[in-house]
Every structure is written in C-alpha cells, then in structure tokens.
Structure 1
Amino acid sequence: MTRTCRQTARGHVPGTGAYISKTPLAPYLHPRKANHNIHKEYQRINMSGSWTDDILLKIANIIVYFLFLGSNVYTVATPHDIYFTGRDTYITPAPWAFLIWSLIHLLLLGTIIYQFTASGKKVIIDGISWRFPLLGILNAIYVHLWASQHYIFAFVFALFVSSAISHIYYTVKKFHAPANIGDEVLVHLPFSLYHGWTTVLVVITAFQAFGVNAIYEPAGVWTKVFAFLALFFLEATAATYAFSSPEGDLPASFAITWSLFAIFAHQNVHRSGFIHWSALAFALLSAFWVFMGIFGTYKRYRVVSGSILLDEERAPLVGGEN
C-alpha cells in the first residue's frame, strides 16, 4: 500500500530503482492561519475597490469642481463680457485664448469621474488628496476678483493658484507615473495643461495690475522692455517644459504657445510693432518646443511598442517544450 502511494506521487525512472517527484509539495500552513490570511486579503481587495472609500473627499472634489466651473461660466454669461471689456494691456491676448478653459474643464470632469475607479483613487485621492479642492477654491476666488476688475488682489490670488497647481503638478509627475491611458488622459494631461495656462494667467494679471492701459497710453520704453521680458519668460518656460523629461511636457508647452499666438494676434502692429513682432518670434520658438514634445512622445511610444514586440517574439511557443 505504501509503495503504491509513493508510485502515484512520484514518477518511476526506467532501469533504476529511483523515483522523481512530479509535483512539488505545498508548504504546510495551519488552517487557522490560512483562514486569517485569506480574510485579510479579502478585506484589502474589498476596501481598495469600494467607491465609497474616502467619500468625503470625493464629494468635496465634485462640489469644488462645479464651483470652479461656475466661476468661469459667470465670466461669459455676465452682461459685460470681461474678455472684451477688461483692462487692455500690451500683453493681453485675443479673447479666443481663454477657450483653453473649456478644454481644462472637460478634462477635469473626466478626472472627477475617474476618482471613483481603483487607479484614479490611487492618484487623485491618495496622491493629490485635498490639494484639488484647495486649488478649485483659490481659482474661483481669482476668477471672481479678475472679473470684477480688482486686478491687484487678483494677481495675489493668481500666485496662490500657481503655487497650488505647481504642488499638484510636482506630486503627479514625481510620484505617479502614468500606469494606463486613464492616468495619462485624465490626470497628467489636465494638470499639465492647467499648469502651463496658470503661468500665462500670472503674467497677464501682473500687467493688468501694474501695467499701463493700452487703449489710452502708448507703449513707452519700459513698457516695451517688460513686455519683451514677459514674452521671453513664457517662451523659456515652454522650453523648460519641453526638456523636463525625455518626451517633454506637450500639454503645458501647448498652453503657452497657444497664448503667445493669441498675444501676437491681439497686439497688432498699429499699437506697437516691436511687441507685435516679438510675440510672433517667441510664439514660433515656443511652437518648436511643442513639436519637440510631439516627437519625444512619438519616440517614447515607439520604444515601448518595440519592447513589447521583442518580448512577444522571444516568448516560447505554447507546447514547444515537453
């Protein structure tokens, strides 16, 4: 009986008296300990997959998102359109530059929905945490002050908004590399675009707070100097985004390039030829950094696709080994 059991558990080597094991024996685990481990694993999976986890923060994100959205809708729905009646400076862009808000709102709506998934919770809830509600509140205050033409206070809150989005941008880029298409499109893309656009808003609001009114005053020497430095700063920031990683930060560079072309379109040659052509030159340079970002992104995905293809080619055929 013993020999029969051994032969069923082991394979007999012909011509010898030896047996080899075909199936390794599993390590013994006490039933009580095994049940405890299974219960802990079930709790971990169940808690990480629950959409009600951190529900207070998720609800706060939803409320603040609609507060943030409403503040920007107000600037368009108000009887005196702020984009046409606000203080016009020598760095003010064409009104269509602010259409980028629509894209940011659309992407952030996806972010709000994405937070209810396991992957989204890891980045948005566990990573960004309460920084997003803080950003939304600061941005709503900034938009209200800017729309009511309190430009000095608006500039102060523009700096607060820039600080908040910079903290989120650093957290996302440094500690949460995109693990899937959801992370790429619904987390990295909107906050990169937001970060680049906020840089533009700080410059625009600074000129509205401390610069001259382009409708009533001609551009003096110092106005031209500061406008040139502002345009150079925006272009240099776009270049910094382009070289921030091997593939570059395409959305942030695009936000700045979009704004520079809008400044070129609004600051016509009759106002100041120097500012007009300077804006065009820096816009073209910034567009070059955008194309660099596109090329870097294409190269990255090509390398990733090539690596996957090589791994598939090197994989052994199913049933090739007996």
Structure 2
Amino acid sequence: MSNSAPNSGWLKACNILSYLFFTSSNLYAGLGGDSIRLGKPVQTYLTPAQWLFGVWSLINFLFLGLLVYQFTPRGGKAVTEQLGWRFPALFVLNSLYTTLFSLQGSRLLNFLAFLVLCLVAGMVSYLYGSLRTGSEPENWMDRYLVHLPFSLYHGFIVVVFFVAAFTVFGTDANTHKAGVVTKILVFITLFFLESTAAGYVFYGNGDIAGASVISLGLLAIFDEQRSSKFIHWSALCVILLMYSIFFVISFIAVLRAVAVAYQAQRSAIPLRSSDEEAAPLIH
C-alpha cells in the first residue's frame, strides 16, 4: 500500500467514518433493536452473562483514542503501515455482524450473521498477528492505543465466535434441556477456550490482555449457565484448571531461573580459583 499523503488522508477519514458505523451498531444492538441481549438473541448453553459484553465499551474507547493518535507522526505510521485499509474494513464488517445478530430473525438470518462474523474473526486475527509479529511498541500510546485494543478485540472475538456458533447450530436453552451431545460439545469448547487463553500467556512475550478477556468469558459462562449443573460447574473447573496450569508453569519457570543462576554461580568459582593458581608469584 502506498504511504503517500493523499492515501494516508483518505485512510484516516475512512477510519473515522467506519468507526461511527462501528459504534452506532454497538449502541443499536445494546440499547435498541429487537434483541434483549447484545449479540445473542437466542439463549444457548454457552451464552455468557450480559456483563461480559461491557468489554465492547472499553474496546470502543481505546479505538477512539487510536483515531486521535493517528494524527500524530508515530500514530499515523502505525495506522498506515501496520493496519492499513483492513482497519476500516474491520469496522464495517463488525457493524454488519452486530446489526444482523441484534435482530430477532430466522436461523437463516443468524447463519448469515455468523458468516460475516467469520470474516470479522479472520480480519481481526490478521491485524492482531501483524501487530504481534511486528515491531515492539515504542511508547505507551503504541502499547495502549494500538496493541491493547486489538488484544482485547481478538480475545473477545474468540469467545463471541463460539457463542455465535452455538446460537446458529445449538439448541435453545429456554425450550430444550441439555442432552449428552450438547454437554460434550460445551465441555470441549470450554476446554478449547482455556487452552487458547494459556496460549495467549505463554506464546512469545505473552498477551495478558487477550487471556484476561477469555478468562472473563469463561467466568461469564459460569455465571449465566445455571440450568445445567454440569455446564455450570464445568466452566468453573476449567477456570480453576487454567489458573492452576498458569501457577505450575510459572513456578517451574521460577525454579528453572534459580537453577540456572545457581549453576552459573558454581561454574564461576573454579574459574576464579584457576586464575589465582595460574597467577605468577612475583609481580
């Protein structure tokens, strides 16, 4: 993509315009429209508590800061070189998905919304991967206005993707009891979310923000799912398992660092003694 001033100006203008669509669709889904719950018109056995969707407010606020930051030299470089035209395209796709899912429609309408969500997930993953494999943040604005919102966004989309999948292909918890197949699928999904959160923490330099969003998602599912004791307590067990794994791996890492430091100290002692023996008696 060309980084010329005209193209950069058009990109920044499109970012602002698409952000307005992004925010308006979120407000419509949360406060207006026909849906009772933001992004989930059908109650399933993976539906999280409503408070989880408050993450959208934080993401919207951080992206607003990014739109202001893009008019600085460093912010403009990050937007044009690292995000590009995929950034406003992501806003438009997300707006379409949120609007479709906020409507009390047929299975076909929900399926179309899910297809759009797949495009959103792919776009978010691309931008998230581009930032994670690119240069490290140079200042706090890079960290909190560029990298942080995409970490939160990516982690949130992981949770929303499975919630939407159960909305389209799963059973309605208000009209059907959870069968064996449903319980197995929910448990597998919970375990996958736990594994993904662990991957966020221990891959590369770690991504605490993304892992925290998925952890909140598991906690919200535990909070919401009370009609099935198996699903309710499975969500809690997965959360406890996740933090147990975090503790064990972190503890092993600390022990390994102590052992390496101890070995380095011991290997340094013979070197000092040999140097003293090899030193001449008369200077």
Provide TM-score, normalisation by structure 2.
0.80
1:272-291 → structure 2 map (5 Å cutoff): 272-287=228-243
Which whole-Å CA distance do the structure 1 matches of 2:241 and 2:44 have between them?
23
Superposition deviation, residue 255 in structure 1: 0.8
Q: In 2 relative to 1, CA 235–61 (structure 1 residues): closer, same or farther, beyond 3 Å?
A: same
Which whole-Å CA distance do the structure 2 matches of 1:155 and 1:253 have between them?
23
Which whole-Å CA distance do the structure 2 matches of 1:117 and 1:63 have between them?
19
1:140-289 → structure 2 map (5 Å cutoff): 140-149=95-104, 150-246=109-205, 248-268=206-226, 271-287=227-243
Which whole-Å CA distance do the structure 1 matches of 2:247 and 2:96 have between them?
35
Superposition deviation, residue 222 in structure 1: 0.3
Which whole-Å CA distance do the structure 1 matches of 2:43 and 2:233 have between them?
18
Q: Quick check: which one's helix share is greater?
A: 2
Q: In 2 relative to 1, CA 161–100 (structure 1 residues): closer, same or farther, beyond 3 Å?
A: same
Superposition deviation, residue 283 in structure 1: 2.3
Q: In 2 relative to 1, CA 82–200 (structure 1 residues): closer, same or farther, beyond 3 Å?
A: same
1:38 matched to which residue of 2? Answer: none
Q: Which amino acid aligns with 2:27?
A: V
Q: In 2 relative to 1, CA 287–112 (structure 1 residues): closer, same or farther, beyond 3 Å?
A: farther
Q: What is the SS of the residue equivalent to 2:16?
A: helix
2:20 matched to which residue of 1? Answer: 66
2:276 matched to which residue of 1? Answer: none
Superposition deviation, residue 175 in structure 1: 1.4
Superposition deviation, residue 86 in structure 1: 1.8
Q: Does 1:87 align with 2:45?
A: no
| Aligned counterpart in structure 1 of residue 82 of structure 2, from 116, 127, 142 | 127
Which whole-Å CA distance do the structure 2 matches of 1:115 and 1:109 have between them?
10
Where in structure 1 do 4 or more consecutive aligned residues deviate above 2 Å?
Answer: 79-82, 283-295
Q: Which amino acid aligns with 1:253?
A: A
1:302 matched to which residue of 2? Answer: none
Q: In 2 relative to 1, CA 63–135 (structure 1 residues): closer, same or farther, beyond 3 Å?
A: same
CA contact (8 A) 1:242 1:292 kept: no
Which whole-Å CA distance do the structure 2 matches of 1:135 and 1:289 have between them?
34
Which whole-Å CA distance do the structure 2 matches of 1:79 and 1:197 have between them?
22
CA contact (8 A) 2:121 2:157 kept: yes
Q: What is the SS of the residue equivalent to 1:83?
A: coil
CA contact (8 A) 1:71 1:140 kept: yes
Q: What is the SS of the residue equivalent to 1:93?
A: coil
Superposition deviation, residue 293 in structure 1: 11
Larger radius of gyration: 1
Q: In 2 relative to 1, CA 221–128 (structure 1 residues): closer, same or farther, beyond 3 Å?
A: same
User: In the TM superposition, what whole-angstrom CA distance separates every residue of 1:225-245 from its partner, at most 9, and x where no partner exists?
Assistant: 100011111111101101112
Which whole-Å CA distance do the structure 2 matches of 1:98 and 1:158 have between them?
16
User: In the TM superposition, what whole-angstrom CA distance separates every residue of 1:20-71 from its partner, at most 9, and x where no partner exists?
Assistant: xxxxxxxxxxxxxxxxxxxxxxxxxxx99x8x87111000000011110000
CA contact (8 A) 2:26 2:98 kept: yes
CA contact (8 A) 1:253 1:286 kept: no
Q: Which amino acid aligns with 2:69?
A: Y
Q: What is the SS of the residue equivalent to 2:44?
A: coil
Q: Which amino acid aligns with 1:220?
A: G
Q: Which amino acid aligns with 1:252?
A: G
User: In the TM superposition, what whole-angstrom CA distance separates every residue of 1:160-180 from its partner, at most 9, and x where no partner exists?
Assistant: 100000110011111131111
User: In the TM superposition, what whole-angstrom CA distance separates every residue of 1:264-308 from its partner, at most 9, and x where no partner exists?
Assistant: 00001xx2111111111122344567889999xxxxxxxxxxxxx
1:300 matched to which residue of 2? Answer: none
Q: What is the SS of the residue equivalent to 1:64?
A: helix
Superposition deviation, residue 190 in structure 1: 0.3
Which whole-Å CA distance do the structure 2 matches of 1:222 and 1:105 have between them?
37
Q: What is the SS of the residue equivalent to 2:37?
A: helix
CA contact (8 A) 1:242 1:293 kept: no
Which whole-Å CA distance do the structure 2 matches of 1:221 and 1:53 have between them?
55
